[in-house]
Structure 1
Amino acid sequence: MYKTRIHIREFLLLLLVWILLMYVGSFLLLRNYTAESMRNININNGVFGLINFAQFYIYLQWMVTPFLQNRNWKSFIGKLLPVFAGFIIMKYTIAAGCFSKDVLYRGYRIENRQRVDIYVTLAEYAISSLWSGILVVLAAFSYRFFIWWLAEDKRRAILQKQQLQAESGFLKMQLNSHFLINSLNSIYSLALMGSPEVVRANKTLTDLLSYMVDQPSDIDYRGPVAAEIRYLEDFVALQRIRTGCEAGVVFNIPGQWPDRQIAPLLLVPFVENAFKHGVSNRPEMPVTITLECSEEQLVFRVHNHISGHQRDKTGGIGLDNVRKRLQLIYPGRHQLEIRDSGNEYYSNLVINW
Structure 2
Amino acid sequence: MKLSKEVYKGLITVVSHLVFWLIIYFIYTYFLGYGSNNTEYVNKFSIYLMPVTICVSYFFLYFLIPKYLLTKKQGLFLLYSVYTFIVSAFLIILSILYALVFLIELNSKGTPPLTKSLPFIILGVYFVVLMVIVFGLVLYNYKSIVKNEDLKNKFLQTQLQLKEQELKFLKMQIHPHFLFNSLNTIYGFALKKGDETPDMILKLSNLLDYILYQVKKPTVNLIEEINHINEYIELERIRFQDTLKVSFNSDIENESIQIPPMLLIPFVENAFKHGSIVNGILTIEIAIEQYKNEFNFSIKNTVKESVNNIEKGIGLETVKKRLDLLFNNDYELNIDESNDNFNVQLFIKNL
Query: 3-state DSSP class of the match of 1:257?
Result: coil
How far apart are residue 204 of structure 1 and its match?
0.9
How many angstroms apart in 2 are the aligned matches of 1:230 and 1:63?
Answer: 67
Q: 2:129 maps to which residue?
A: 130
- Per the alignment, residue 251 of structure 2 pairs with 254
Kindly indicate whether the alpha-carbon contact (under 8 Å) linking 1:277 and 1:307 is maintained by their aligned counterparts in 2: no
The Cα of 1:2 is off from its aligned counterpart by 7.7
Give the secondary-structure state (helix, strand or coil) at the position aligned to 2:161.
helix
Q: Which string of whole-angstrom CA distances, capped at 9 and with x for unpartnered residues, describes residues 232-263 of structure 1?
A: 11111111111113861111123763431111
TM-score by length of 2: 0.64
Asked whether the equivalents of residues 249 and 287 of structure 2 are also in contact (C-alpha less than 8 Å), the reply is: yes
Q: What is the match of residue 143 of structure 1?
A: 142
- Aligned partner (choices 293, 302, 305) of residue 305 of structure 1: 302
For the residues of structure 1 that align with 2:289 and 2:154, how far apart are their CA atoms? 39
Q: In the alignment, is the contact (CA less than 8 A) between 1:248 and 1:280 conserved in 2?
A: no
Match of 2:342 in 1: 345
Q: What is the aligned counterpart of 2:284 among 276, 280, 287?
A: 287
Partner Cα separation in structure 1 for residue 270 and residue 8 of structure 2: 55
8 Å Cα contact 1:260-1:295 kept in structure 2: no
2:324 is aligned with 1:322: no
Q: Which runs of 5+ in 2 are unaligned?
A: 17-53, 68-83, 93-113
Range with bigger deviation, 280-289 or 161-170 = 280-289
- Cα separation, 2, equivalents of 1:118 and 1:5: 42
Superposition RMSD on alpha carbons, in Å?
3.9
| Cα pair distance change 1:282/1:263, threshold 3 Å | farther
The question of whether the paired residues in 1 share the 8 Å contact of 2:221 and 2:255 is answered with no
Gaps of 5+ in 1: 15-54, 69-80, 90-115
Query: Per-residue CA shift, 1:143-176, capped at 9, x if unaligned?
Result: 2222211111111111111111111111111111
SS at match of 2:336: strand
Number of residues of Structure 1 aligned to a counterpart in Structure 2: 260
Q: Helix, strand or coil for the counterpart of 1:332?
A: coil
Q: Any residues of structure 2 matched to 1:96-175 within 5 Å, and which?
A: 118=116, 121-175=120-174
Residue 184 (structure 1) aligns with: 183
Structure 2 matches for 1:31-46, cutoff 5 A? Answer: none
> How many angstroms apart in 1 are the aligned matches of 2:198 and 2:124?
95
CA contact (8 A) 1:165 1:217 kept: no
Contact 1:277–1:306, Cα closer than 8 Å, also in 2: yes
> 1:202 offset after TM fit, Å?
0.8
Preserved contact between residue 243 and residue 282 of structure 2 (Cα < 8 Å) = no
Find out whether 1:333 has 2:327 as its counterpart.
Answer: no
Quote the residue 1:3 is aligned against: 5
CA distance in 1, matches of 2:223, 2:279: 29
Among residues 267, 272, 277, which one is paired with 2:274 in the alignment? 277
What percentage of aligned pairs have identical amino acids?
A: 29
SS in 1 for 2:347: strand
Counterparts of residues 259-270 of structure 1 (less than 5 Å): 259-270=256-267
1:44 matched residue in structure 2: none
TM-score, length basis structure 1: 0.63
Change over 3 Å in CA distance of 1:6–1:192 after alignment to 2? farther
Letter in 2 for 1:345: F
Q: Please tell me whether the aligned partners of residues 301 and 349 of structure 1 are also in contact (alpha carbons under 8 angstroms).
A: yes
Instruction: Answer with 273-282 or 129-138: which moved more.
Output: 273-282
2-structure distance, mates of 1:189, 1:324: 32
Distance (whole Å) between structure 2 residues aligned to residue 306 and residue 156 of structure 1:
46
Change (3 A) 1:258 1:215: closer
Letter in 1 for 2:241: G
CA distance in 2, matches of 1:227, 1:322: 18
SS of corresponding position for 1:245? helix
Query: CA shift at 1:224, angstroms?
Result: 0.7
The alpha-carbon distance between structure 1 residues 136 and 232, as it changes in their structure 2 partners (threshold 3 A), is same
Which piece of structure 1 moves more, 195-204 or 209-218? Answer: 209-218
Q: How far apart are the structure 2 equivalents of 1:339 and 1:143?
A: 54
What per-residue deviation string (whole Å, max 9, x for no partner) do you get for residues 172-218 of structure 1?
A: 11111111111111111111222111111111111111211213557
How many Å apart are 1:285 and its aligned residue? 5.1
Residues in 1 aligned to 2:279 and 2:193: alpha-carbon distance in whole angstroms: 22
In the TM superposition, what is the alpha-carbon distance from 1:284 to its structure 2 partner?
A: 5.7
Secondary structure at the residue paired with 2:251? coil
Residues 256 and 123 of structure 1: CA distance in aligned 2, closer, same or farther (over 3 Å)? closer
